[in-house]
Every structure is written in structure tokens, then in C-alpha cells.
Chains A and B, each alone.
Chain A
Amino acid sequence: MAKKFKVDLNQKTCKACGICMALCPKGVLGKRHDGKAEVVDEAACIGCQNCSVHCPDFCFVVKEAAADDK
């Protein structure tokens, strides 16, 4: 079974630059009404860490979800 990941996104420090949405290969992230990022499809995340490495405002923590964490 494919691994599942948990995407923790801190919208308080997000500055709506849009880098994460452009670089996510799986369309996990979408644009909220104010332009900030939001997680729209967490199940599609493959844990590539593109968002957490490239976020200039350190908003992301992506970790493998624990087994009971559905």
C-alpha cells in the first residue's frame, strides 16, 4: 500500500506567494479565497517535500502519517 503523508500548513505565516502550488507535482495544494495556500487533496501527497523545502516562510511540515492517523 502506498505511504500516506500528513501536510501541516501554517496559514498564519503564509504570504500567498504561490510557489508551493506551482511546484507541487500532485495538486495537493490549492488557493484559498485570500490567495493563501490550503491543503485540498492530502491523500494525493507523495511526500516529495517540494513545498517544505521551497516555502520562503517555513509554513510546511510534511511527515509520514502514523498508521492510526487516517
Chain B
Amino acid sequence: MMRIKDLSKRFGQKEIFCRLNLHFESGKVFALIGPNGAGKTTLMRMILGWDKDYEGEIVCDDDIRLGYSPETPWFPEILTGQEVLSYYLEVRGTDKKTAITESARLMQEVGLDLEKDTLVKNYSKGMRQRLGVAQALIGDPDLLLLDEPSAGLDFFGQLQMQTLIGKLKAQGKTIILNSHLLHDVEKVADAGYLFMNTHVFRHFDKAEFEHESLADMFIATAKGARDEGLY
């Protein structure tokens, strides 16, 4: 689905990535985990093509469709949830009638059909995040990039988001998930990448965290890196 080859990125003097190589197969859920400032959101922005100031290559399958839900998505406060989706659909050029039908379907998809006529300003944080995912689903994307979809959600909200991601995975979507919530990742991810800093980085997959929790893996990696003077 997508391959990242020898990706290097700097912000001024600060090096974010150094010859990074990643591989994302289709139909899987990938997690990007790591401390703040490790470059997870930057990586998503580069995949989306919004940050082109890097060296290396991001190679995707032809005609790949991307969807993205930012950490704190902005929605027009004066619109209802369904109107927000209709708005983005119309912005893409969908006619009004189709936009209404499609937005209703998407609201149902993310479990917001009962709140479709509620103004966004009255939405809870969890509802906003799910609306963000619904927005990302517009255009039936092959690859979904979800930036901290469960951040700030209560336990129930996190469960709802996990269920939603599972449902999307079952539909065959490839998902790249940015998250700090390790137990959340353990529940939904098939594989992922752990970023500590430019030099400390590792790949993991589901088989590994069946034996070792992500938290332990994280701590062990950090320890090892510190012993080698890399972290």
C-alpha cells in the first residue's frame, strides 16, 4: 500500500527523522507511538502531502485515496453534525441531494445517527472525534490517517472509538493510528512503529505484544537506548 524510503526531516537545527524506512501493508491497522515531539504528526502531514520539505521518498499505490482526522478537528460550530459532513461533501463537488444521503450514511457508520441534527457546538469530545473519523471517511478512502482519535476521551468514548476502528478494519481499510494510549493500540493495532528519537526506532507487530505489553516494550527500548547513550 505505502512504503517510506530513507526519509530524513529537520526542523531548523533539530533532526526529526534520519533515513527512516517504513512499510504499510493494506488492510491492516498500524500504530505510530512515541513521546511528544517524536514526529508522528509530522509524518502524517508528509504522507498527506502537506509537508514536502524532506529528503527521501513516500511511495504509495496508484490512485490511493486518503482520509485524515486531525487530533482536534475544526468543525463549523453553527452546523449540525450531518450538515458538517454535507458541507465537506459539497466542497468536494458532490451535489446537495447526494451529500445529504451520503452524510446520513456516514453518521450511521460512526454511530452518530441519533445526534445527526444536534449542533456540533453541543457535541461531546468523543462525538467530535467520531465526527472527525466520519469526515475522514468521505470519499471512501483506502488509507485512513487518524491522529490521536482517542485523546481526551473517557473510558466509554475510548471503547466506542476502538469498536469503530475495528469496524473500519473489517471493511478492509488500512489505518495508520497516532496514539499515546498504549492499551488502546494493543486492542486495535496489527503492527506499528515506536519512535523514541531520530536514532531510536523499532518496528513491532501484534505477535510481539501478545507476550510483552507495549508499555514494557517501550520501557525496555528506552532503557536500552539510554545504556547505549542514544536516549
The answer to whether A and B interact is no
Residues of B within 8 A of A (CB): none
Residues of A within 8 A of B (CB): none
